[in-house]
């Protein structure tokens, strides 16, 4: 269990309902062992992290009745979720979303705001470590200067007139930001640059912190997917990320402003406290470090003082209002 998320992470585990409570059991040596037992009202999500687990129809009915999210992971990525039969009934939102998607100026406006939020929140992390490093007598001026470079980039971004220009600014700021993060992390993690999944080397040799980031962003994707669903939006029609088959473009759009506060910040802090945890991520046969990284990010989203889960839902609802032309979308800005 982590926050309001229940993990199904044992091979052979079976999720069912007993006396109105969700119960995960595992048979060991001919006897059933209860791994967890919880009332549905106490949960937001149930996440299956292994293939060899199952659930009963009564568990699905209970989850639907209480509005619980049931998500299935493959490796460290969400690949499927169970949706209630009423999903898609908010046709007004979908039509508004499509109209905005077909409007080039409106699309650029939203894409610009998503990246403005991302850069501003990345800047907050550099300012935080500028302050901490200054107190420790190292790198303070460097982080401050790079934070100012990010600020200058936001001014450039406001003048961008196309998605391509926005992406060019985002790529420039990403190089500045991740180069700075490499100086914050312990040297033995060998982090030098951000490697998204699309740029992973074919030999599979990736530094531990990049692996952790991909796990963390998967946990964030799950939350943003849920928020888009609850707001009655179509996850496949985005504005910054081009739609393509199977790609949840709008979910990726919403993620941008939350990457730094929900994933980068807690993982950077954890890496500085316990780099050994990240080194264990290179062991492909050991799932426990992956689960620990997932829990770190999930706990940040569900239990932090900022209440990121509620903020993500709020932003998704604001986006729906923007698309219906009843409000104006502004990206979330974090503090340090």
Burial class (CB in 10 A: 0-12, 13-18, 19+), 177: buried
Same domain, 113 and 209: yes
Residue 120 counted as domain residue: yes
Same domain, 98 and 171: yes
Same domain, 240 and 114: yes
- Summarize pLDDT for 51-62 with one digit per residue, the tens: 899 999 999 999
Same domain, 101 and 65: no
pLDDT at 18: 94
Same domain, 292 and 149: yes
Banded pLDDT at 332 (limits 50, 70, 90): very high
Residue 172 counted as domain residue: yes
Whether 87 has a pLDDT exceeding 80, the answer reads no
pLDDT at 285: 72
Residue 40 counted as domain residue: yes
Report pTM: 0.86
Residue 328 counted as domain residue: no
Asked if 271 and 282 count as a contact pair (C-beta separation under 8 A), the reply is: no
Residue 336 counted as domain residue: no
Whether 137 has a pLDDT exceeding 80, the answer reads no
Same domain, 132 and 228: yes
- Summarize pLDDT for 171-219 with one digit per residue, the tens: 999 999 999 999 999 999 999 999 887 777 767 689 999 999 999 999 9
Same domain, 11 and 98: no
Structure-token pair, residue 313 = 């839902």
Same domain, 69 and 207: no
Using a pLDDT cut of 70, give the percent of the chain over it.
96
Same domain, 292 and 189: yes
Range of lowest pLDDT (26-30, 84-88, 265-269, 321-325): 84-88
Same domain, 20 and 157: no
pLDDT at 296: 96
CA-nearest of 217, 182, 224 to 293 is 217
Asked if 210 and 198 count as a contact pair (C-beta separation under 8 A), the reply is: no
pLDDT at 328: 98
Task: Say which residue, 36 or 65, is predicted with more confidence.
Answer: 36
CA-nearest of 175, 186, 251 to 220 is 251
Same domain, 275 and 203: yes
- The CA-atom distances, in angstroms, between 69 and each of 180, 188, 230 are 37, 38, 10
What is the CATH classification number for the domain harbouring 22? 3.100.10.20
Residue 71 counted as domain residue: yes
Asked if 133 and 139 count as a contact pair (C-beta separation under 8 A), the reply is: yes
Residue 202 counted as domain residue: yes
- Summarize pLDDT for 228-265 with one digit per residue, the tens: 988 999 999 999 999 888 899 999 999 999 999 999 99
What is the CATH classification number for the domain harbouring 189? 1.20.120.920
Q: Which of 61, 82, 103 is the last residue of a domain?
A: 82
Q: How many domains does the chain have?
A: 2
Residue 331 counted as domain residue: no
Distance between CA 261 and CA 333 in Å, rounded? 9
- Write out the residue range of the structural domain in which residue 18 sits: 5-82
Burial class (CB in 10 A: 0-12, 13-18, 19+), 273: exposed
């Amino acid at each position: 269990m982590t926050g309001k998320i229940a993990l199904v992470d044992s091979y052979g585990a079976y999720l069912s309902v007993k006396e109105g409570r969700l119960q995960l059991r595992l048979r060991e040596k001919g006897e059933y062992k209860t791994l967890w037992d919880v009332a549905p009202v106490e949960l937001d999500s149930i996440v299956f992290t292994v293939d060899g687990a199952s659930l009963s129809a009564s568990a699905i009915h209970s989850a639907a009745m209480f509005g619980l999210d049931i998500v299935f992971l493959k490796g460290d990525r969400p690949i499927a979720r169970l949706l209630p039969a009423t999903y898609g009934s908010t046709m007004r939102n979908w039509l508004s979303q499509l109209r905005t998607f077909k409007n080039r100026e409106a699309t650029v406006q939203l894409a610009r705001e998503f990246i403005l939020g991302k850069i501003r929140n990345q800047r907050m992390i550099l300012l935080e470590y500028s302050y901490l490093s200054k107190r420790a007598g190292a790198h303070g001026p460097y982080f401050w200067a790079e934070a100012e470079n990010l600020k200058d980039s936001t001014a450039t971004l406001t003048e961008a007139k196309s998605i391509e220009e926005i992406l060019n600014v985002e790529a420039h700021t990403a190089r500045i930001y991740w180069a700075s993060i490499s100086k914050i992390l312990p040297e033995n993690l060998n982090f030098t640059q951000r490697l998204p999944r699309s740029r992973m080397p074919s030999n599979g040799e990736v530094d531990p912190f990049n692996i952790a980031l991909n796990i963390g962003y998967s946990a964030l994707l799950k939350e943003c997917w849920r928020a888009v669903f609850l707001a009655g939006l179509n996850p496949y029609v985005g504005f910054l990320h081009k739609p393509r088959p199977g790609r949840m473009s709008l979910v990726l759009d919403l993620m941008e402003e939350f990457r730094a506060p929900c994933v980068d910040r807690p993982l950077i802090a954890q890496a500085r406290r316990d780099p050994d945890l990240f080194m264990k991520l290179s062991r492909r046969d050991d799932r426990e470090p992956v689960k620990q990284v997932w829990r770190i990010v999930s706990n940040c989203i569900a239990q932090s003082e900022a209440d990121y889960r509620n903020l993500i839902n709020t932003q998704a609802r604001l986006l729906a209002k923007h698309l219906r032309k009843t409000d104006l979308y502004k990206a979330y800005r974090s503090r340090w």
